[in-house]
Amino acid sequence: MNFQTQHLATLAKYAGISFIAGAVNHGMFSEQRSLLTAAIGVVFYLIGAAMELKAAHDGSKSWADLLGFGIVASIGLGFFTGGLQHFPDSPQRSLWVVPLGFFLSLLALYFSQAWRSRMGFKPLAIYTGSTGVLVIAGAVFAASYWSDNAGGGHDHAHSHDNAPVAAAADTATIRNVVIEVNDNMRFDPGTWQAQQGEVLRLIVVNTGKVKHELVVGQAQELAEHAKSMRQSKGGHHHHDNAVAVEPGQSAILMFTFDKAGEWGMACFEPGHYEAGMKGSVQVKPQT
């Protein structure tokens, strides 16, 4: 095989493996649907594998080897890397996913260069056993560390945004405020009152058929933000004062008004603010 072919085949194979690993990773840890990503990965991998097979005239490679390696390497890598990344938020899952990914990676290499015809059972068993023990011990240690230090780990989609507020709120009372957003481009209630410094759990319920958001800010800030959005044609903001809500869903924003006075609510989905999707919050000074 010449350099050019080898490079293209390798690129296609490893691109495929990363797509599948990424899909496995998301499927395991964020429950997103990743079938399309996985399918793209499979196509890439098959193209690369076919190129290698075609170029290997001596029969040193077979479909069984290439497919075995592809399946095991991509799923194994997805488990291993995903598990390592998600110890902080899903320690119990990472505990078994990381070792499983590690053992799959061993199988993958065994397939990759037809090691199974060249390597005896005994050295393989010794290597697998000793490294496996280390990986399992490491996983147990990491899982117990992160279970004890999880903080806001239960609500893992938003824990990084809300963790400081939620932690501070453990010792104080939290007031729930339910705010409906809908396709009439209104917040309901459109006007409400709060106390400076109180911890609020804003439960935003989208009863409409399109996505909405709640952005909380001082009235002046929101007006300026709306103006800059119009000039720059948007862009998405992910702040601790905003939450987006898909149709039919609800979302939570933990918020504390740190100053008394006139605050506002706004939705900056394109055209919504202009259509009147804004509201006001009167914040009374702390007594």
| Footprint of Cu ion (CB under 5 A) | 212, 267, 269, 272, 277
Between β-strands 191-195 and 278-284, what pairing exists: parallel, antiparallel or unpaired?
A: parallel
- Nearest distance from residue 157's CB to Cu ion, in Å? 21
Q: Which is nearer to Cu ion, 51 or 277 (CB)?
A: 277
| Residues with Cβ within 8 Å of residue 14, at least 6 apart in sequence | 48
Q: Which is nearer to Cu ion, 80 or 255 (CB)?
A: 255
* Structural element, H or E, at residue 189: none
Q: Which is nearer to Cu ion, 23 or 277 (CB)?
A: 277
Task: Evaluate the CA torsion angle 26, 32, 36, 39 in order and state its sign.
Answer: positive
| DSSP code, position 179 | E
d(CA 178, CA 172): 19
Q: Which amino acid, 209?
A: K
- Nearest distance from residue 276's CB to Cu ion, in Å? 10
- Nearest distance from residue 185's CB to Cu ion, in Å? 6
| DSSP code, position 260 | -
Q: Which is nearer to Cu ion, 237 or 284 (CB)?
A: 237
- Nearest distance from residue 212's CB to Cu ion, in Å? 3
Q: Which is nearer to Cu ion, 118 or 238 (CB)?
A: 238
- Work out the number of other CB atoms within 10 angstroms of the CB of residue 232: 8
What region, left, alpha or beta, does residue 212 occupy, with left being phi > 0 and alpha being psi -120 to 50 degrees? beta
- Nearest distance from residue 269's CB to Cu ion, in Å? 4
- Nearest distance from residue 204's CB to Cu ion, in Å? 11
d(CA 176, CA 81): 38
Q: Which is nearer to Cu ion, 146 or 268 (CB)?
A: 268
